[in-house]
């Protein structure tokens, strides 16, 4: 029975058969593939329910690319129905979740008490689901607008307190939502002026709630309205009344999808580069056949649709998403359009790499990834041709291939609804990323003029600054820990509030690394985390060392480490320990410390502990002669 051809069955049935035949672990990649094919809410709920019991330990052991995440849920109503959706959306994105649910009605107690079960659980994300009973349960019957105002005022203060307490008590993020106001409440008022007044004070409350997220570092407030627009309704009268499940399963499904986007960002899985086909993807027509004059990018209803799509892409690019072209076309024709077509929104300088040729698109993708020094799982690929999509998907399963429909008016939704590029907070570095990568391509061209790497580096006029991060640098330092996967010794992710905490700890030292050269300023490209023990001034622990993939192999990593060791030695430190934790992506830096004179003193599972003794022998200092170094990060003499 099981040996029957599975491919004829619906994706959900195939998953069920894999479960019944105990092949969930061995066929996990296939299950993920099938999950992507489920489109209805009911199928997603059923799949989530099925996969709740998947063998976590076996999955983690067998698939290193799978990440784990702890999610705590609380709120003012019965919300456990969100669980299967959370399982579904996270597993689809290679994230295995563990969940904790607060008891009904316990959210205040759980968030205010630092030793509550919720805090003991130590979640990465805490979700506090809120809906209107939080306000209306406190009102008298009958109520007037002024009563609502009073409760809203008290409640915003209460929520601010809870979020502040969470910020102090948890290392994770707190996620809550603006509170939707139901038609049944508005309709209890019969005159239109009063209806407007109620809506207005309600929206003011929600606006204040949203603003709290700029004030409290670890707080994310989701606007419920876009989620509600995609759901089939706010609440089901019967389930609300009889079971206190105040929001529909459909809305909880949308909510869970949004949470999984946040989880991806927390896990460093935000996509970094958007790779685009051209013909019938960025414009209407085939450039090779129709010519520059024949393609449509404006001035017709179809053309306008492509124009809107291009403007949306430009909006993403402005926020640091890299753009590349992967198209079957002649390069000169493509350059001609990018430079000379009067109606194109996207221009040559918006792209960091243009692959217009006749090679298979999967090969082009690999080439783009290599030249940008990014992993394939950082890429999103958009192509109108189902053939090309399937080719890239089957050859390079790590690339996110979007299933766009034929009609270009739907491209924008297909591109945006997955939230593939979402990050927690944008930094100055993001706004100028395209320029920096374009500089990088110039550097590579410059490199090709030299016969040796040494020769090249000498001409690069590289300047490195080691510094103590200031408050304005916190977002970028946190982002480096979240985004960097290759040169990241332990892949420990830090939210901004945690970085802030570390900077205030006298025993901890964070050294920021900034680099610039003749082609431009790279900004903050790396950082080193180190700490000392309160009662032992002779030992230093390097907890992590991170360097952006843009700037590998230029000696920046060596000069930074050497300077740190030198400074440590001057402070009387005799032993420097350094940690390395293996992940699927950081294998190439496994030997980094060894190459710099460290030796392994402890090996447990995927963790290595290195040691370098700073004895009387001379440390090598500034072996990277091509770098002009400036250092100002204080010493290690903590008091």
Question: Can you say how many angstroms the Cα of residue 175 is from the centroid of all Cα atoms in its chain?
Answer: 15
Cβ proximity to another protein, 54 vs 112, nearer residue: 54
Indicate which single residue of 84, 180, 303, 555 sits in contact with another protein (rule: CB under 8 A).
84
Cβ proximity to another protein, 239 vs 609, nearer residue: 239
Least separation in angstroms between residue 253's CB and another protein is 11
Least separation in angstroms between residue 322's CB and another protein is 42
Alpha-carbon distance 196 to 191, whole Å? 9
Least separation in angstroms between residue 120's CB and another protein is 23
CA 472 to each of CA 26, 428, 429, 469, 500: distance values in angstroms, whole numbers, following the listed order: 47, 10, 12, 8, 10
Give bridge partners of residue 322 from the DSSP assignment. Answer: 273
Counts for the chain of helices (H) and strands (E), in that order: 27, 18
Cβ proximity to another protein, 47 vs 274, nearer residue: 47
Interface with another protein in residues 308-337 (CB under 8 A): none
Residue among 167, 173, 210, 163 nearest 72 (CA): 173
Least separation in angstroms between residue 366's CB and another protein is 40
Cβ proximity to another protein, 184 vs 300, nearer residue: 184
Least separation in angstroms between residue 418's CB and another protein is 25
Cβ proximity to another protein, 249 vs 557, nearer residue: 249
Least separation in angstroms between residue 57's CB and another protein is 20
Alpha-carbon distance 13 to 197, whole Å? 51
Number of chain positions touching another protein (CB under 8 A): 20
Least separation in angstroms between residue 237's CB and another protein is 9
Number of neighbours of residue 512 by Cβ within 10 angstroms: 21
Using the rule CB under 8 A, is 394 a contact of another protein?
A: no
Least separation in angstroms between residue 24's CB and another protein is 12
Least separation in angstroms between residue 83's CB and another protein is 8
For the chain, the distance separating the N- and C-terminal CA atoms, rounded to the nearest angstrom, is: 72
Interface with another protein in residues 159-198 (CB under 8 A): none
Cβ proximity to another protein, 46 vs 463, nearer residue: 46
Please report where in the chains the tokens 């034929």 appear, as a residue.
406
Cβ proximity to another protein, 38 vs 50, nearer residue: 50
Least separation in angstroms between residue 602's CB and another protein is 43
Least separation in angstroms between residue 522's CB and another protein is 51
CA 159 to each of CA 121, 179, 338, 467: distance values in angstroms, whole numbers, following the listed order: 21, 12, 51, 37
Using the rule CB under 8 A, is 559 a contact of another protein?
A: no
Q: Encoding tokens for residue 295?
A: 């393609």
Let me know: does 583 contact 633? Beta carbons within 8 Å: no
Rounded (to 5) percent helix, strand, coil in the chain: 45, 20, 35
Using the rule CB under 8 A, is 16 a contact of another protein?
A: yes
Cβ proximity to another protein, 42 vs 299, nearer residue: 42
Least separation in angstroms between residue 148's CB and another protein is 29
Cβ proximity to another protein, 19 vs 492, nearer residue: 19
Cβ proximity to another protein, 32 vs 46, nearer residue: 46
Alpha-carbon distance 175 to 50, whole Å? 26
Alpha-carbon distance 378 to 355, whole Å? 18
SS3 283: strand
Least separation in angstroms between residue 19's CB and another protein is 8
- The dihedral over CA atoms of 429, 434, 439, 443, expressed in degrees to the nearest 10, equals 110
Using the rule CB under 8 A, is 97 a contact of another protein?
A: no
Cβ proximity to another protein, 83 vs 365, nearer residue: 83
Output the CA torsion sign for 258, 260, 261, 262. Answer: positive
Question: Can you say how many angstroms the Cα of residue 22 is from the centroid of all Cα atoms in its chain?
Answer: 33
Alpha-carbon distance 182 to 248, whole Å? 13
Using the rule CB under 8 A, is 81 a contact of another protein?
A: yes
Alpha helices in 321-360 (DSSP H): 331-340
Cβ proximity to another protein, 105 vs 288, nearer residue: 105
SS3 191: coil
Number of neighbours of residue 277 by Cβ within 10 angstroms: 21
Taking CB under 8 A as the binding criterion, the range among 75-83, 138-146, 254-262, 539-547 that sits at the site for another protein is 75-83
| Per-residue contact flags (x/-) with another protein for residues 26 to 65, judged by CB under 8 A | ----------------x--xx--xx-xx------------
DSSP 528-543: EEEEEETTEEEEEEEE
Please report where in the chains the tokens 């008022």 appear, as a residue.
189
Alpha-carbon distance 349 to 438, whole Å? 8
| Per-residue contact flags (x/-) with another protein for residues 213 to 252, judged by CB under 8 A | -------------------------xx-xxx-x---x---
Indicate which single residue of 26, 62, 80, 214 sits in contact with another protein (rule: CB under 8 A).
80
Q: Which residues contact 503 (CB under 8 A, 6 or more apart)?
A: 469, 474, 510
Alpha-carbon distance 144 to 150, whole Å? 10
Cβ proximity to another protein, 28 vs 598, nearer residue: 28
Interface with another protein in residues 435-474 (CB under 8 A): none
Sheet holding 273-276, edge to edge: 353-357, 322-328, 273-276, 379-382, 400-401
Q: Residue 72: exposed, middle, or buried by beta-carbon count in 10 A (0-12, 13-18, 19+)? A: buried
Cβ proximity to another protein, 25 vs 503, nearer residue: 25
Alpha-carbon distance 163 to 107, whole Å? 11
Least separation in angstroms between residue 509's CB and another protein is 48
> Which spans of this chain sit near another protein (rule: CB under 8 A)?
16, 19, 42, 45-46, 49-50, 52-53, 80-81, 83-84, 238-239, 241-243, 245, 249
């Amino acid at each position: 029975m099981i040996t029957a051809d599975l491919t004829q069955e619906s994706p959900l049935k195939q998953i069920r058969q894999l479960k019944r035949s105990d092949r969930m672990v061995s066929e996990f990649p296939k299950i993920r593939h099938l999950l992507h094919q489920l489109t209805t809410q009911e199928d997603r709920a059923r799949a989530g329910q099925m996969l709740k019991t998947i063998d976590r330990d076996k999955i983690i052991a067998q698939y290193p690319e799978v990440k784990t995440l702890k999610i705590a849920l609380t709120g003012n109503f019965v919300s456990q129905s969100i669980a299967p959706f959370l399982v579904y959306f996270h597993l689809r994105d290679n994230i295995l979740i563990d969940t904790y649910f607060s008891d009904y009605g316990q959210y205040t107690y759980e968030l205010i008490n630092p030793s509550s079960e919720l805090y003991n659980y130590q979640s990465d994300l805490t979700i506090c689901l809120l809906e209107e009973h939080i306000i209306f349960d406190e009102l008298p019957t009958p109520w007037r607008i002024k009563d609502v105002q009073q409760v809203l005022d008290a409640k915003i203060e209460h929520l601010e307190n809870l979020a502040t307490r969470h910020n102090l008590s948890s290392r994770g993020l707190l996620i809550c939502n603006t509170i939707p106001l139901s038609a049944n409440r508005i309709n209890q008022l019969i005159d239109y002026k009063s209806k407007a007044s109620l809506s207005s004070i309600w929206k003011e409350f929600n606006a204040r709630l949203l603003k709290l997220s700029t004030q409290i570092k670890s707080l994310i407030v989701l606007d419920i309205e876009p989620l509600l627009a995609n759901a089939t309704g706010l609440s089901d009268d019967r389930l609300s009344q009889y079971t206190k499940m105040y929001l529909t399963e459909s809305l909880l499904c949308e909510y869970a999808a949004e949470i999984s986007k946040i989880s991806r960002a927390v896990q460093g899985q935000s996509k970094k580069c958007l790779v685009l086909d051209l013909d019938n993807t960025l414009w209407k027509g085939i450039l090779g056949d129709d010519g520059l004059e024949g393609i449509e990018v404006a001035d017709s209803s179809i053309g306008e649709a492509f124009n809107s799509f291009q403007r949306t892409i430009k909006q993403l690019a402005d926020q640091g998403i890299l753009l590349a072209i992967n198209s079957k076309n002649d390069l000169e024709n493509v350059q001609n359009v990018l430079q000379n077509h009067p109606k194109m929104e996207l221009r040559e300088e918006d792209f960091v790499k243009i692959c217009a040729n006749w090679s298979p698109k999967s090969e082009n993708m690999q080439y783009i990834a290599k030249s940008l020094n990014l992993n394939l799982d950082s890429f999103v690929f958009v192509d109108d041709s189902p053939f090309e999509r399937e080719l890239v998907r089957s050859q390079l399963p790590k690339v996110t291939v979007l299933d766009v429909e034929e009609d270009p008016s739907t491209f924008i939704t297909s591109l945006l609804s997955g939230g593939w590029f979402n990050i927690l907070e944008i930094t100055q570095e993001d706004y100028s990323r395209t320029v920096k990568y374009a500089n990088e391509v110039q550097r590579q061209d410059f490199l090709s003029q030299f016969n040796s790497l040494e020769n090249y580096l000498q001409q690069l006029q590289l300047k490195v600054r080691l510094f103590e991060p200031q408050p304005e640098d916190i977002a970028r330092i946190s982002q480096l820990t979240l985004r960097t996967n290759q040169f990241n010794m332990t892949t420990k992710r830090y939210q901004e509030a945690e970085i802030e905490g570390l900077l205030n700890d006298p025993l901890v030292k964070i050294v920021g690394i900034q680099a610039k050269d003749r082609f431009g300023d790279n900004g903050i490209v790396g950082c080193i985390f180190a700490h000392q023990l309160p009662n032992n001034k002779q030992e230093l622990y390097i907890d992590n060392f991170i360097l952006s993939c843009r700037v590998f192999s230029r000696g920046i990593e060596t000069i930074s480490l050497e300077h740190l060791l030198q400074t440590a030695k001057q402070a009387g430190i005799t032993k420097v320990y350094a940690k390395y934790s293996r992940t699927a992506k950081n294998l190439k830096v496994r030997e980094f410390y060894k190459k710099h004179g460290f030796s392994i003193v402890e090996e447990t599972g995927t963790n290595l502990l290195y040691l370098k003794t700073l004895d009387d022998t001379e440390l090598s200092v500034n072996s990277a002669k091509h770098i002009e170094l400036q250092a100002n990060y204080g010493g290690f003499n903590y008091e």
